[in-house]
Structure 1
Amino acid sequence: MDLLKNFFKGDKAVWIIFLFLCLISIIEVFSASSTLSFKTGDHWAPITNHLTMLLVGVFVVWIVHNIPCRWFKTFIVLLPISWILLAIVLIMGIATNGAKRWIDLGIIQFQPSELGKMATIVTVAFILSKMYTENGEDKKAFRFILGVTGGTCALIITENLSTAVLLAVSVYVLMLVARIPFKQMAKLTGIGIIGIILAFSVIWCVPASAWKAIGIERPITWKERISDFSNNEQIPAAQYDLNNDAQVAHANIAIATSSILGKGPGNSVQRDFLSQAYSDFIYAIIIEEMGLIGGAFVALLYILLLMRIGKIANKCDKPYHMFLIMGIGILLVIQALFNMLVAVGIMPVTGQPLPLISKGGTSTLINCIYIGMILSISKYANEQQRLKEEQQTLGIQPEQNAEPVAPENQDANAGQPV
């Protein structure tokens, strides 16, 4: 028990949620990887690769959650690095489905947009902690946040619109949590609405030939997805073309043919027709196999994660830790929401994986870093709370922002004045 206690430091509820998500990921990715198994000719290769990535991810969680959370401020240096990598992707990145999102490192393919998201959240949290004031009069924080977020989104948006929107929405919600002045948020909201209207107008009105002429073809895909999503025409079942927008069609079939309890793990039918069953549309496979109860349970895990993060944030005595952990929680939960809404047909296709469940490389490792950071901050917050309780018991006035005393150093400091 002592060994497990020393290994699983930090908030136990976060550990439990993380391990549940990993377990669901192993079961569902193994089931949903039939197309990969067919292509490779090896039934075990897809799940073996995924298991290896998850084991590496668990190790990453363990490493990061043992890093003192005050060191996370140094992750700000990743912002300019991510911008450079994102610029490289635009020039010479690997294209998949018409979008350049990866850099080939030889051994693995790296997705810089995931690093850019993390670096932006870390930087925004740092700016808020340094420049935020209770009366909300400091406008510099607002401008710097817009510059940092806008820079990252500008480098991402042409090849990965959904990720840029995800990051922008997450930072916007974090700014609301940080109580940025109402006037500034109202102006930002108005500008954002106008920008969205203009963007939709450009995407809708500019012909495909014009986009191809300048070498940018992603807006063509965006227009097709928006058009398909907004089309309310009722088509008889006998005339429905499954080859047209097949992913959405088969995801709908997977959900429609499910039940309260589902078909059972490994019994999905639509996994053989969904090309991204193990990634973008894995939530549809979860509902097909585990039913509405299983789908609700997965959604509940993300809700509980956000609630637990909020509870940890309330314990934090330093603004940076609070803003950082809330930014991470908001980003993870909104991404999960995007994936689930797409799977059930409430949003257009975005290509966002389900955090910690979908098969992935860069996204899995970055999400594991997020969990490690949450656990590290929770460990620090718990130590701070324990220290204050001990000082109150001894009748000592707690010091503001005092560093917690590590358990192994308590005996050495026992005879020293506080």
Structure 2
Amino acid sequence: MINKTLGNIFKGDKVIWMVFFFLCLVSIIEVYSASSQLTYKASSYTAPVLKHIMLIVIGIVCMVVTLNVKCRYFKMATPFVLLFAVVTLLWVAIAGASTNGAQRWIVLFGLQFQPSEIAKGAMVLATAQILSALQTENGADKLAFRYILMVCLPIVPLIMVENLSTAMLLCLVIFMMMLLGRVPARQLGALLGVVVLAVALLVCCVMAFGTDEEAQKPANQTLTEQTIEQKKEDKSTVERVFHRFDTWKSRINKFLAHKDVAPKDVDLDKDAQVAHANIAIATSNIMGKGPGNSEERDFVSQAFSDFIYAIIIEEMGILGATGVAMLYIILLFRTGRIASRCENNFPAFFAMGLALLLVTQALFNMCVAVGLVPVTGQPLPFISKGGTATIINCVYIGAILSVSRSAQRKQEIIADTNVA
């Protein structure tokens, strides 16, 4: 009776369920360990992790609800989700709450969330529907490419203004979906050429018009919050529109200036996040220091979010960090197997798009933690401490599980036919 009840709740692919629960287990352990700064502010050791567990539980409830939704209803919801994404992105651009110099948050019905998280899923949903509707024997029709760009046009620029890394991540996922959807190579090649030119132009504009305040200030001088606010007030209207150029230029300069520095010459005050993340990785060894024994968590401001993978390496060692990375790889390959069993194109493209979205973001976060790419601010899905992003990611997994259920039914029908 218990097994039957659990089977009715945890439907869908069992491997994906296992991967999800392992990621949640790692998340609870590492968020509890890495939230030392939050526990100090809250005067409670358990308050941050209990809040995180509550969000995971809410996410699981949303995931169970989503996996019981049939794929055809996802298709029906596409225009409404796209409209909601555009409206909320415009809202956050006009009156969004600011975090770390970027307007990314809005409050709706008492809940604070990032519209870009919903916009990513909306774009994957729309792209999957376009690719499936315009599939031919020789691949996607040429019109599919045009329609996908038309959908991207109102969404990607709105995300890019305040969150360039998220926009780049989304564009990469959409491009990979077009590859899977067999969009003509000539169109994809032309798109790559345009993107390369656009990126080069953007970098030139950032380097020309952006201001790296960290590099300009005198040695041993720090910018106070009052000074920063005064600088913002002194900027012209045009400069305020492109205020993110300063952040992007600073990150580019830091990444390009990367060089081997003797331990005694490292300036821990100038770039504390990256420096202490490197220390955490360098002192991890193969087995790590053990859960809860991180020493660098107190010095990395986003140890529980952007740089949580560095804390995982420090506490769980190279073996543990490799295991966490493998969980995401298993998620991707398992979703690919589910997609191959789908009878229709839409659920296959939809599931693969969501899996690529989650796994690519995870790889971005890991590369930042180990210093392979500039700091992007992308959290580690299912592991980093988050708010509504955690719940939305759970909804994405629920959608993949919903697809797995329809693919499983197809296999059962084929099996019954063969037996008969």
TM normalised by structure 1 equals 0.92
Percent identity at matched positions?
49
State the match for 1:409 in structure 2: none
Which of 3-12 and 120-129 deviates more? 3-12
Please say if residues 261 and 290 of structure 1, whose CA atoms lie closer than 8 Å, have aligned partners that are also in contact: yes
Which of 53, 60, 73 is matched with 1:51 structurally? 53
Aligned match of 2:389 in 340, 363, 368?
363
Unaligned runs of 5+ in 1: 395-418
**Cross-structure match for 1:195:** 198
Report the CA distance between 1:298 and its aligned residue: 0.4
Counterpart CA distance in 2 for 1:99 and 1:327 is 27
Asked if 1 retains the 8 angstrom alpha-carbon contact of 2:30 and 2:308, the reply is yes
Cα distance in 2, alignment partners of residues 137 and 53 from structure 1: 40
Q: Which amino acid aligns with 2:22?
A: F
Find the residue that maps to 2:297 and give its secondary structure.
helix
- Matches of residues 8-407 of structure 1 in structure 2 within 5 Å? 8-76=10-78, 77-105=80-108, 107-136=110-139, 138-208=141-211, 212-213=235-236, 214=238, 215=240, 216-394=242-420
1:256-312: CA deviation from partner (whole Å, max 9, x where unpaired): 110111000000011111111111111000000000001000000000000000000
Instruction: State the distance in 2 between where 1:246 and 1:316 align.
Output: 48
CA deviations on 1:311-369 (whole Å, 9 max, x unpaired) are 00000010001100110111111000000000000010000010111111121111101
> Counterpart of 2:104 in 1: which secondary structure?
strand
Contact kept, 8 Å, 1:75 with 1:122, in 2: the verdict is: no
Contact 1:121 1:171 (8 Å CA) reproduced: yes
Deviation, 1:137, is 6.4
1:20-69 C-alpha deviation (Å, 9 max, x unpaired): 00100100001111111111212211011001000001111111111112
Q: Distance in 1 between matches of 2:258 and 2:129?
A: 45
Any conservation in 1 of the 2:251–2:375 contact (CA below 8 Å)? yes
Q: Are residues 212 and 170 of structure 1, via their aligned partners in 2, closer, same or farther at CA, if it must alter by over 3 Å?
A: farther
CA offset digits 1:8-31 (Å, max 9, x no partner)? 111000000000001001000011
CA contact (8 A) 1:85 1:112 kept: yes
Q: Which amino acid aligns with 1:357?
A: I
| Greater Cα shift, 120-129 or 33-42 | 33-42
Structure 1 contact 149–171 (Cα < 8 Å) conserved: no
Rounded Cα–Cα distance in structure 1 between residues aligned with 2:413 and 2:266: 65
SS in 2 for 1:272: coil
Secondary structure of 1:18 counterpart: helix
- Kindly provide the amino acid, as one letter, of the partner of residue 39 in structure 1: K
* Amino acid in structure 1 at the alignment position of 2:301: S
Aligned length: 394
Shift of 1:150: 3.1
Measured against aligned partners, the alpha-carbon deviations of 1:193-230 in whole angstroms (never above 9, x if no partner) come to: 11111111111122439994320311111111011011
Question: What TM-score does the superposition give when structure 2 sets the normalisation length?
Answer: 0.91
Q: Residues of 2 paired with 1:118 and 1:99: CA distance? A: 21
Report the Cα offset of residue 71 of structure 1. 1.0
